[in-house]
Structure 1
Amino acid sequence: MRFLDEEWSWNLLRDKVFEQQSCPPELERIGRTVAQSCGGLPLAIAVVAGILAKVDKTQYHWEKIVKNISAAVATNDEHFSKILILSYNCLPCHLKACFLYIGGFPEDYKISVSKLTKLWIAEGLRSNDKIRFCGLHDLLRDLCIQKARKEEFLHVASNSETGIQNQRRLSIHFRIDSNLVDKCARASPIHSILYFPKYLASLSFLRGYRLLRVLDLFRACLTFFPPEMTQLFHLRFLAFTCDLWKPNDRPVVPPSVSKLQNLQTLMIRSHATVLLPIEMWEMPQLRHLIFFQGSWLPIPAPSGGQVLENLQTLCVDNFRFTSNAIEMIPNLKKLKVCYYCPFRAPWIEYCLSNLVHLCQLEFLNLMFTPPWKHIADPLPVNFALPPNLKKLTLSRCNIPWRHMVIIGTLPNLEVLKLRDRAFIGEEWECSEGEFARLKFLLMEGLELECWQVKQSLPMP
């Protein structure tokens, strides 16, 4: 079940407290505050409603409950736990593991489902691709942590704890003593580390974690690519952030990264352009290459590298889709590219006409920064898009509206987002029958004033 929104939370609380009677107007405001405090969890709302039903229905008594809502929930914590554990026990084994894994994230953390599913896959669990972000109610998170610790599935570490030696998965929410981590690394079965503090003094402890499959340092700021990472042969998931102290430096991923032959997901965030080695094309297990805020991936040599048949996601900057590059990524499903260099003919310079040959591509996001100005007709005559596209996002492309027919005739397109001068001109005229499967259309930052649909004439 999804968490209830504010209105549904209030409706449930009101029905539980007043049953068939109406709520006095002076209590509705307080009641809504109480319902909102339950975080959308029906169980919490039901228990708090039971408390409100037993006290006098006056502003004075209800305001006391509002001030002590946390205490009221804590008092019934055992009751909550018994019911929640019943729900947990009814889950299939593979879903239990997925649920417990979420307990490794900090309290009130906005969890990217895309990243979470990649972590699940790296752990040999399951995936789902329908929700973008999720959260975990405090009560459910407490249950996750308790059950995960009891079953030795995952351990949430703090600076005062020393019982992490025999854990398989370690989630670190606070800065802990590096000596403690080093000590545990000497003979450690740990194969997953989720690290959430912003700073990390040293990664020397990685030498002892030879069995690591997951290393999530995405929130930590590193000043260089630690050589210890390339020794983690079993690594499947790697995420980190580059935060340079010297303004003229550029973060470099060394060629030795190709030693990570089992790596499936690589996520890098940086405030400067990350220089990636051509050896990236020698990592056949790669599924997701995601680079945030600047990256430079060299195109593969005509006779070098391996076909990355497993690559499904590519997020990169200024990439040239040469014929050889297209051949190296035949099964790509998601592609996001941002172009920064102000060439006069960007579509030709970056070989974007070859995108049509990505037959498995379903999601495409193209953005130009700054927007291409003073280009009368930037698209090549033979330009086309892959027929399997389901979602297309274009930003600052400066394409004349007459070329929209290229998009309108895509047979499987369901989502179209046009932002910041994606198309130029004041009038868009489309024909009947275009966008046959479109479900969602977003237009913002355009100069469009007139939108016409040309209907076909009936046969005489």
Structure 2
Amino acid sequence: MAEPVLVSLIQAIAPLLTSTATDQGRQLLATGRDVGWLRDELHNMQNFLHEMEVSRIEGKGSMATEAWIGQMRDIMLDSEDIIDIFDAGHVDGCCVLGHLRTRHDLGVQIRRIQTQLSDISRRRTEYAVQRPTEVSDRWIHGLLASSPLVHDKDIIGLDRDLAMLLRYILDDGMELSVVSLVGMGGVGKTTLAKKVYNHPDVKKHFDRCSWIYVSNTMELGNVLRELAKGLMRIPSGEVSSLSEKQLQELLLSGLDNKRFFVVFDDVWDTGLWDVIKLVLPRKDHGSKVLVTTRNAVVADSVVDTKSHVHRLPPLSSEDSWNLFCKKAFLQDGMCPDGLKETAKVIVKKCNGLPLAIVAAGSMMSRRERTDTAWRHVLDNIQTDLSNSKMEVQQTLLLSYVDLPRPLKPCFLLLSVIPYDSEISRKKLVRLWIAEGFVKENADETLEISAEKYLMELINRSMVEVAIVSCSGRVKACRVHDLLHDLAIFLSKNDRFSTICHEKDASVSDRRISLQTSGVSFSNRNKKRLRSVFMFSNSAQDVLECNIVARSFRLVRVLDLEDGNVLELPNEIGGLLHLRYLGLRGTKLKKLPRTLHKLHQLQTLDIRRTHIKKITFEISCLRNLRHLEMKQGDHSIHVPIGLDLLYNLQVLTGLQASATVIHEISNIPKLKKLSIEDLKNGDAEKLCSSLKNLKELLYLSIFLSDGTDSLDLATFKPSSCLQKLHLSGSLRALPDWFSQLHSLTKLRLSFSQLQDDPLPILVRLPNLLFLQLNRAYQGRVMKCYCPGFSKLKIFIITELEGLEEWDVEEGAMPSIQEVWIMLCSKLTTVPSGFQSLATLQRLRLVGMPSSFLCRLGEHGDDFIRVKHIPSIEIIPRLG
């Protein structure tokens, strides 16, 4: 049977191998040496293109230079394609005929590129520019490795504006009133509005609060859905199925008896505002709305007898100077006399805009402190620009130029996320790694290197911190809209990425972000695509059209998070370069078996889907680093082969079994493990396996339903364990709890502890977060002094037997938040709360009326809580 196939194969490849076809045959077969040459040449092209880019941005290029750069970029992109296809052939070159044809095609293309480079190099001297001083990579050394800390930044020059806005928002007027905050981009509107929104007095004053970013592209339906989620607390899944009319009726009826506060950030359109205000009840409950806008027409359109317009001016010269010095001279905030003249001109060109001042100050903090070096920067801020907005953009552009080369693509990738969206630190780091932006370093993991990149972008004020953990570590970040505009502009200009809003968009860039429902894109140059991000409901159609047609065959990143994806086509197994597959929040029920072909895959995220088991050969994914499967209501069955995933660092949502428990002991790089449905009979085996995980930082163990108790007595925790979540009956805390010296976060759920756990837990020297969820069955709980010296957040939920909670004076000296939820027998505020001077927020959920009535000004426990800035009372969850 094999003979006819062999004959046809020989006949097919004979023209490529005969001596009479040497020029068209052997010499045109792409060899490793050819591709090696192309890799070196690509590196040279990238370096030279970077230098030309710097000169072009600094205004030293010509129209001829622009054309030359465009030609060079096309050659560079084609070279990247060839290298990727060649590498894929080596990874999956199972078909001899197809492999030889591919090598022949690549050989032809390499010869064509050699000719193009020879031609373009002859003209290189015509566009030669002075090579700029290269930014040293030393910026990366000495930064915090895996725990970048963020400190609160002082807001300069906004105190008076804050006080005035609070007066408007908290006045005693009972009719719905609107405050409009207007000012140019970068002047600090959003910063000021957030200080109002998060102010403790505001949280106390209103029943419901919601923040909605509007932007110039948001549609009415999306605004209404955000209102319903924020003010009505309706889950996203329910809101998405409602029509605009249903949402309007829901808001008008549901908010009828509520005092609410809504911030509409960055409103551009008076027409959209005219519709929005119709769905807000105008009953006499004292509700307030704050609108931020750059458009004075929009600001004036909200004005009536009960409204206010607050115009936010740029910072004064004095405040601008103080803010600049604070960022440029980090040690003492003092400008040397020899730099003052030049520094003041730089500050003046920022036109009082905090964003530009912070960016300029951060950039200059890294410059040599000589007048010559500073004047070089000043010379690059074009002085002939008559428009102040253009001067600000030029300042921000120079901040981009000043970035070390590895950070530039990292910043540009933020162009693909929607305006004012937050992106988690973990996701951003993984995307950078998948894109190949992060340099290999023998001394640290790619993840640690990438987090250093992020911290450097934050320090340079190119990225803002959105959410911080109790340990001060960045959890999520965002980009200011002016910097977002800059990233989009640069990305489009350099074919780095494009944003698709039109219904039929053409694609010739490396990355595409779909942000409009019903969008599709044409076939032109889709072969160049490396990353696809979908933030719309078009995901299923786009997938079927392009994966099946092999348009995505060189894609490295496919992010479909929260997309309307019902199934993945089997052809996805042909995406041999795929490194990041984001399926979180989709409607998938199963994964194709062909996923085992994705040998380059580093991240697979199937959280919040309907998938219950993995059916493909997981052991084939040897490069997998992050396997995220946490579902909430079920765990994921994984077939044998986990122990072959030597690079795996994150494994969550895993269903326990004897085989799985044995295999995880052979994954030495594992740093995060979440295992569920554990039977008590397997607990001792799990403890034995965990001994081998010396780098484990996070551990979560959930017992299966009906298991009597969790016996973890033989567990010997890693000395570096930082986060621990145990869900299941313990009866008593194991002896090893006292050894958790590095632990910062602890959750105990359904533990059925008979004895007060706090005398043991207070010994944990670095604990920052503690949650007890149905964990303790006793009547009395006591915090002793000294104890919990670093604890910032303490949450107790459904401690049904708890009647008394005492806090000794001096205990919990760093506490910031306390949540008490559904503790039905606790009738008084814990004694000693009055000594918690650092406590900022007390949240009470579902507490009995006998407890709540003691909190009022004339209540017995008022003296214990009157110093707490924010007390939030919620009758029940939801």
**Deviation string, structure 1 residues 243-264 (Cα, Å, up to 9, x no partner):** 55xxxxx822233211001111
Does residue 113 (structure 1) correspond to residue 425 (structure 2)? The answer is yes
- Say if 1:256 and 1:422 are closer, same or farther in 2 by CA, change over 3 A: same
Aligned counterpart, 2:772: 444
Aligned counterpart, 1:193: 532
Contact 1:240 1:267 in 2 (8 A): yes
1:283 is aligned, of 621, 625, 631, to: 621
Provide the aligned length of Structure 1 versus Structure 2.
404
Q: In the aligned structure 2, how far is the partner of 1:321 from the partner of 1:388?
A: 26
Q: In the aligned structure 2, how far is the partner of 1:255 from the partner of 1:26?
A: 61
Does residue 225 (structure 1) correspond to residue 568 (structure 2)? The answer is yes
- Say if 1:321 and 1:87 are closer, same or farther in 2 by CA, change over 3 A: farther
Matches within 5 A, 1:235-314: 235-241=578-584, 251-277=589-615, 279-293=617-631, 294-300=634-640, 307-314=644-651
Q: In the aligned structure 2, how far is the partner of 1:26 from the partner of 1:238?
A: 48
**Deviation string, structure 1 residues 119-178 (Cα, Å, up to 9, x no partner):** 00001123118421112221221111111112222211221564422x011111113543
Tell me the CA shift for residue 225 of structure 1. Answer: 2.6
Matches within 5 A, 1:62-73: 63-66=308-311
Instruction: Please give the secondary structure, in 1, of the residue aligned with 2:564.
Output: strand
Q: In the aligned structure 2, how far is the partner of 1:451 from the partner of 1:400?
A: 18
Instruction: Please give the secondary structure, in 1, of the residue aligned with 2:400.
Output: helix
1:92 is aligned, of 404, 416, 419, to: 404
Contact 2:416 2:533 in 1 (8 A): yes
Tell me the CA shift for residue 64 of structure 1. Answer: 3.8
Q: In the aligned structure 1, how far is the partner of 2:515 from the partner of 2:570?
A: 24
Instruction: Please give the secondary structure, in 2, of the residue aligned with 1:224.
Output: coil
Q: In the aligned structure 2, how far is the partner of 1:384 from the partner of 1:353?
A: 8
Matches within 5 A, 1:100-249: 100-126=412-438, 127-128=450-451, 130-159=473-502, 162-165=505-508, 167-178=509-520, 180-181=521-522, 183-184=523-524, 188-202=527-541, 203=543, 204-206=545-547, 207-241=550-584
Tell me the CA shift for residue 265 of structure 1. Answer: 0.6
- Say if 1:409 and 1:33 are closer, same or farther in 2 by CA, change over 3 A: farther
Instruction: Please give the secondary structure, in 2, of the residue aligned with 1:78.
Output: helix
Q: In the aligned structure 2, how far is the partner of 1:359 from the partner of 1:27?
A: 53
Contact 1:4 1:40 in 2 (8 A): no
- Say if 1:410 and 1:68 are closer, same or farther in 2 by CA, change over 3 A: closer
1:83 is aligned, of 380, 388, 395, to: 395
- Say if 1:349 and 1:2 are closer, same or farther in 2 by CA, change over 3 A: closer
Instruction: Please give the secondary structure, in 2, of the residue aligned with 1:146.
Output: helix
Q: In the aligned structure 1, how far is the partner of 2:699 from the partner of 2:433?
A: 23
Q: In the aligned structure 2, how far is the partner of 1:434 from the partner of 1:262?
A: 45
Bigger fraction of residues in strand: 1
**Deviation string, structure 1 residues 6-25 (Cα, Å, up to 9, x no partner):** x944x53248x9xxxxx9x7
2:717 is aligned, of 370, 385, 394, to: 385
Matches within 5 A, 1:345-356: 345=680, 347-348=682-683, 351-356=686-691
1:13 is aligned, of 148, 158, 179, to: 158
Q: In the aligned structure 2, how far is the partner of 1:137 from the partner of 1:346?
A: 53
Aligned counterpart, 1:365: 700
Bigger fraction of residues in helix: 2
Instruction: Please give the secondary structure, in 2, of the residue aligned with 1:337.
Output: strand
Q: In the aligned structure 1, how far is the partner of 2:662 from the partner of 2:682?
A: 17
Q: In the aligned structure 1, how far is the partner of 2:733 from the partner of 2:597?
A: 49
Residue type at the aligned position of 1:102:
L
Does residue 417 (structure 1) correspond to residue 746 (structure 2)? The answer is yes
Q: In the aligned structure 2, how far is the partner of 1:441 from the partner of 1:305?
A: 32
Q: In the aligned structure 2, how far is the partner of 1:272 from the partner of 1:83?
A: 48
Q: In the aligned structure 1, how far is the partner of 2:431 from the partner of 2:158?
A: 37
Contact 2:731 2:752 in 1 (8 A): yes
Does residue 39 (structure 1) correspond to residue 190 (structure 2)? The answer is yes
Contact 1:430 1:454 in 2 (8 A): no
Q: In the aligned structure 2, how far is the partner of 1:81 from the partner of 1:163?
A: 28
Instruction: Please give the secondary structure, in 2, of the residue aligned with 1:184.
Output: coil
Q: Which has the larger radius of gyration?
A: 2
Contact 1:295 1:317 in 2 (8 A): yes
Unaligned runs of 5+ in 2: 1-147, 170-178, 194-291, 293-304, 315-351, 354-386, 439-449, 453-472, 787-878
Q: In the aligned structure 1, how far is the partner of 2:495 from the partner of 2:540?
A: 28
Instruction: Please give the secondary structure, in 2, of the residue aligned with 1:220.
Output: coil
Q: In the aligned structure 2, how far is the partner of 1:274 from the partner of 1:431?
A: 38
- Say if 1:241 and 1:199 are closer, same or farther in 2 by CA, change over 3 A: farther
Instruction: Please give the secondary structure, in 2, of the residue aligned with 1:209.
Output: coil
Residue type at the aligned position of 1:407:
F
- Say if 1:387 and 1:85 are closer, same or farther in 2 by CA, change over 3 A: same
Contact 2:675 2:701 in 1 (8 A): yes
- Say if 1:67 and 1:222 are closer, same or farther in 2 by CA, change over 3 A: same
**Deviation string, structure 1 residues 339-390 (Cα, Å, up to 9, x no partner):** 3x8x5x36539845422222221111234476x67x3x53154233333312
**Deviation string, structure 1 residues 217-271 (Cα, Å, up to 9, x no partner):** 1121222232121110011111125755xxxxx8222332110011111111344
Instruction: Please give the secondary structure, in 1, of the residue aligned with 2:747.
Output: strand
Q: In the aligned structure 1, how far is the partner of 2:151 from the partner of 2:643?
A: 48
Residue type at the aligned position of 2:764:
F
Q: In the aligned structure 1, how far is the partner of 2:388 from the partner of 2:149?
A: 22
- Say if 1:26 and 1:216 are closer, same or farther in 2 by CA, change over 3 A: closer
Contact 2:594 2:616 in 1 (8 A): no
Instruction: Please give the secondary structure, in 2, of the residue aligned with 1:222.
Output: coil
Residue type at the aligned position of 1:428:
P
Contact 2:518 2:537 in 1 (8 A): no
Instruction: Please give the secondary structure, in 1, of the residue aligned with 2:714.
Output: coil
Contact 2:629 2:636 in 1 (8 A): no
Contact 1:279 1:305 in 2 (8 A): no
Instruction: Please give the secondary structure, in 2, of the residue aligned with 1:317.
Output: strand
Instruction: Please give the secondary structure, in 1, of the residue aligned with 2:653.
Output: strand
- Say if 1:33 and 1:287 are closer, same or farther in 2 by CA, change over 3 A: same
TM-score, with length taken from structure 2: 0.41
Aligned counterpart, 2:855: none
- Say if 1:76 and 1:355 are closer, same or farther in 2 by CA, change over 3 A: same
TM-score, with length taken from structure 1: 0.75
- Say if 1:199 and 1:399 are closer, same or farther in 2 by CA, change over 3 A: farther
Note the aligned Cα RMSD (angstroms). Answer: 4.0
Instruction: Give the share of equivalent positions with the same residue, in percent.
Output: 25
